[in-house]
Structure 1
Amino acid sequence: MAEGQQLAFRAFTVVKREGADDYWLPIGAAFRHQDGDGLNIVLQALPIDGRVVLRVPKDDDSQSNGKGDRQRSPQSRR
């Protein structure tokens, strides 16, 4: 991330698990261009199924260690 860029979205891949909640694995982030007309997406891993979910970061996202510490979907964490 270049200095001055603000986190716009967190990137996740959602792993479906039988008999358990889906596992939201953080794999990157997206940052707005300075002119506001686009995004830079930085991925640290690629999803197996090719699907990336972008979510607006929550206040507690800054506490995430980036090692897949999310067990439930962001909606269920409210």
Structure 2
Amino acid sequence: MTNETSQTRKPEYRIYHVVGQGDKAIWTPIGAAWEHRDQLGFAVRLDLVPLTGRIVMRVIGETTETNGGQP
């Protein structure tokens, strides 16, 4: 992915750092991802790389944006 692509296309996925389990989990947005045009992979941009916890990638939509990414 080029810089031009990342600037012209909106990301399709939000990437979160998740600490904890269930209702007490803390979801922090840490990046975004774009599906390759051939649908065989993803271009990922991370603003930080956590050392602990989980990394979760979710489709960007009204539900994920209003719930902080939590399912």
Q: TM-score, normalised by structure 1?
A: 0.63
Structure 2 unmatched runs, 5+: 1-5
Q: Indicate the RMSD between aligned Cα atoms, in angstroms.
A: 2.6
Alignment length (residue pairs)? 64
Q: In proportion to residue count, which structure has more strand?
A: 2
Q: TM-score, normalised by structure 2?
A: 0.68
Identity across the alignment (%): 30
Partner secondary structure for residue 57 of structure 2: strand
Structure 1 unmatched runs, 5+: 64-69
Match of 1:74 in 2: 70
Whether 1:2 aligns to 2:7 is: yes
Q: In proportion to residue count, which structure has more helix?
A: 2
